[in-house]
Amino acid sequence: MRACTLLFSLLASTSVLAQPQLRQYSATIEQSAWQLSVASPLQCSLEHQIPHFGRAIFRSVANKSLNMDFELMMQRLPDQYALAEVVSMPPSWRPGVPAKKIATMQLLKQFNGELPKKTAWTLLSELEQGFSPAFYFSDWYSPYDNVVAQLNPVQFVDSFNQFNQCIAGLLPYSFDDIAFTVLSYETGGDKLTRESERRLEQIAQYLKYDPEIDYVEIQGYTDSYGGRWMNEQLSVKRADKVKQFFVAAGLAQERVQVEGFGERRHVAPNDTALERRKNRRVVLQMAKP
């Protein structure tokens, strides 16, 4: 009888111990800090440290359209696939206000958690109102623990305003938008059309902020009017003039390759003025490491 009682007691103790425990990570009021860690016309990043857990990063980059993403960078990356519940917790000074379930975030093996544009903006809106977004998930390293990582809205508003100002100054195009560019020319010389001049100005603006351009290939072409040798020389002249633009922008000469094809490799017939204009072109391709 005594052995049976002891067995029931042990089972009861084991049952209690087996209940998942909650491990919480968040910055205290004194620790809470939001930092505009990257601020340029190419990228804006707003970061928040979660002590002993990692960092939360909101990011927007130069692009044709407004964009935003959120990344939860963890010191210990997940070792298996999991899901995290994203919940917005109300501040203590708003008693009775319920928590809001925002989304479910995938946690992939050896990758940080990420959230798309709309959800990222929602989290920013919640923080601006004093709410605390939290991420709940089962610990992949321990079957006995659940984890919650929470963002503290203290000191958020001023940094968020700076972040918004940075986003307003992002370039309205990305590297992918200009990496492959076709420039058109007026008849008989190396003068660009107005549209191509504007395009080159966009590239010049981008090059001010991105030092990671690895190399540029420039290929010049002409229409079929004029002698073949003259057209080949003209195509080289056009391509070389574009090369000087990149060198003046700070790119080393050996990283800019130039080639002139003259009236070879037409992209349109030469029967009309519009078709000939398509053939008077310089094609440039930029690459990054």
Domain boundary among 109, 133, 168: 168
Indicate which CATH number applies to the domain containing 278: 3.30.1330.60
159 & 212 share domain: no
Mean pLDDT over each residue of the chain, to the nearest integer: 89
Domain boundary among 168, 190, 224: 168
Give the C-alpha separation, 134 to 106, whole Å: 14
Predicted confidence (pLDDT) per residue in 91-119, tens digit = 988 888 999 999 999 999 999 999 999 99
Predicted confidence at residue 4, as pLDDT, reads 39
218 & 135 share domain: no
180 & 232 share domain: yes
In a domain, 8, yes or no: no
| Residue 18: band (very low, low, confident or very high) from pLDDT cuts 50, 70, 90 | low
Give the C-alpha separation, 232 to 261, whole Å: 6
In a domain, 1, yes or no: no
77 & 129 share domain: yes
Indicate which CATH number applies to the domain containing 37: 2.60.40.2540
130 & 81 share domain: yes
Predicted confidence at residue 45, as pLDDT, reads 98
Predicted confidence at residue 150, as pLDDT, reads 97
Give the C-alpha separation, 32 to 156, whole Å: 9
85 & 187 share domain: no
24 & 118 share domain: yes
Which has the minimum average pLDDT: 49-58, 132-141, 150-159, 222-231? 222-231
Predicted confidence (pLDDT) per residue in 150-163, tens digit = 999 999 999 999 99
106 & 155 share domain: yes
**Beta strands, E only, the chain:** 21-26, 34-39, 43-50, 54-61, 69-74, 82-89, 100-107, 113-115, 132-138, 145-150, 180-184, 215-221, 256-260, 281-287
**228 vs 35, more confident:** 35
DSSP-assigned letters across all residues of 125-164: HHHHTT-EEEEEEE-TT-TTEEEEEE---TT-HHHHHHHH
Please report where in the chains the tokens 């920013």 appear, as a residue: 124
202 & 84 share domain: no
145 & 231 share domain: no
**What Å distances lie between residue 239 and 97, 157, 232, 274, 276, CA to CA?**
65, 50, 11, 21, 18
Q: Which two tokens stand for residue 14?
A: 């084991």
138 & 230 share domain: no
Task: Look up the domain containing 69 and give its range.
Answer: 20-168
pTM equals 0.83
Number of domains composing the chain: 2
161 & 182 share domain: no
